[in-house]
Structure 1
Amino acid sequence: MFTHTIPALFTPDECARIVSLAESGEMREGGLVGGVQQASIRRARITWLDDQGEAGFVMDRIMRGVAEANREAFRFDITDFHERLQVARYDESDEGHYDWHSDIGDGAIARQRKLTIVVQLTEPELYEGGTLDLNLGSAQWSAPRTVGSATLFASFMLHRVAPVTRGARHSLTCWCHGPSFR
């Protein structure tokens, strides 16, 4: 199985609360590569949520969802959540997007990413474009846009966020870590 969807990991009210928590913090440019802005690759504003305090419920829910999805669909050796939760805002004002990429990258932590989970935080009628697309080799698959739905996939899979052409799309991303694939 290449992808797994949890139709309602969060309620619409919980999604609005997550967006509010994110926007109350400092959102910064999300397209930095080696300290240099790479707008051709990614245009987004991002912030990081702690897994305790007001946002503690988010990580608790993510962990339960990942455990269930991993048992049902992936059976990966997941041992840790080394990174904080990332909330991204893709906005029409700068055609917010994230070009094709995988989530396994340079650095010890990024190399240990096994599963990626992306939660849709914005009602689909509030924006156009902004689809989360996954490359399945011979086909392309678009994740559900229902607010509160979560899409999980192997972190090595190529995926993108298409440009937002109207409104703004918020998403929550978390990476699950474990020993290297063999």
Structure 2
Amino acid sequence: MLLQIPDVLDADALAHARDLLDGAAWTDGRRSAGPQAARVKHNQQLDADSETARALRTLVLQAVERHAVFFSAALPKRVLPPQFNRYAGTANHYGDHVDQAIRYAGEQRVRTDLSCTLFFSDPSEYDGGELVIEQGFGSQRVKLAAGSLVLYPGTSVHRVEPVTRGERLASFFWIESMVRRDDQRQLLFDMDMALMRLRAEHGESAETVRLTGTYHNLLRMWADS
């Protein structure tokens, strides 16, 4: 599943995030990369222990935890602490790579079923910088409005194209889903969205109750909570 979700951050949250990022101290992004990724990674990141990163993590996690579409699509079991990057100047791109299958949050191992990028910069603020995600049906080029995010399978080969003007600011993080298989998450998401539309258009009915039961029985069958 590759899903774009608009307006995850409202105007106030986005303005606060940009205030926090204004004048932030950036470090070499290769410090957090594995051996393969470090060869193609040319960006900057916030120190994960910095006061700015901690404040931004709280802001991002609060936004995604209350977003119904994000929850329906990701069915999160664990969300790794969001990190924050900058592409500009000579540190302006990230070549083809695949994210690590297992990452650590302290002593806890987390499987990276889903990758997520949340944009802080608007497309008008920079040239280039598209997130390119390779999937079986071809390349998807993603460059979203500030405050929007994209979810995509952690198994995907992906890259960030060079930024040739301005700066691209974003958060990135990974999710271990309660439902491990991407095709099962897609089916559950499609069913959930259809149920929401049916209720909005026709109200509750015996049919929506039965379909809701089918949704939850499938989730019960596939989920590891």
Q: TM-score range by the shorter chain?
A: 0.7 to 0.9
1:73-131 Cα deviation digits (max 9, x unpaired)? 46x5x3112x321110000x205111112223465567611112211110211110000
Q: TM-score, normalised by structure 2?
A: 0.64
Q: Please state whether the residue corresponding to 2:58 is helix, strand or coil.
A: helix
How many residue pairs end up in the alignment?
A: 172
CA distance in 1, matches of 2:174, 2:70: 14
Counterpart in the other structure of 2:125? 126
Counterpart in the other structure of 1:68? 69
Counterpart in the other structure of 1:17? 16
Counterpart in the other structure of 1:43? 42
1:47-94 Cα deviation digits (max 9, x unpaired)? 1322xx5752321112233x63352x46x5x3112x321110000x20
Superposition deviation, residue 174 in structure 1: 1.9
Counterpart in the other structure of 1:100? 96
Deviates more, 1:24-33 or 1:166-175: 24-33
Q: Please state whether the residue corresponding to 2:69 is helix, strand or coil.
A: helix
Q: Please state whether the residue corresponding to 1:15 is helix, strand or coil.
A: helix
Deviates more, 1:110-119 or 1:94-103: 110-119
Distance 1:3 1:180, change over 3 A: closer
Residue pair 1:112, 1:179 contacting (<8 A) in 2 also: no
Structure having the higher strand fraction is 1
Matched to 1:101, the amino acid is: H
CA distance in 1, matches of 2:120, 2:9: 9
Q: Please state whether the residue corresponding to 2:77 is helix, strand or coil.
A: coil
Structure having the higher helix fraction is 2
Q: TM-score, normalised by structure 1?
A: 0.78
1:24-48 Cα deviation digits (max 9, x unpaired)? 554211023468x94x511111113
Unaligned runs of 5+ in 2: 182-225
**Identical amino acids, percent of aligned pairs:** 23
Residue pair 2:125, 2:167 contacting (<8 A) in 1 also: yes
Distance 1:174 1:106, change over 3 A: closer
Matches within 5 A, 1:1-182: 2-23=1-22, 25-32=24-31, 33=33, 38=38, 40-47=39-46, 48=48, 49-50=53-54, 55-65=57-67, 68-71=69-72, 73=73, 78-81=76-79, 83-91=80-88, 93-105=89-101, 107=103, 112-178=111-177, 181=180
Residue pair 1:15, 1:122 contacting (<8 A) in 2 also: no
Unaligned runs of 5+ in 1: none
What is the CA RMSD across the aligned residues, in angstroms?
2.9
Residue pair 1:95, 1:165 contacting (<8 A) in 2 also: no
Higher Cα radius of gyration: 2
Superposition deviation, residue 8 in structure 1: 1.1
Residue pair 2:98, 2:154 contacting (<8 A) in 1 also: yes
Residue pair 1:11, 1:147 contacting (<8 A) in 2 also: no
Distance 1:156 1:114, change over 3 A: same
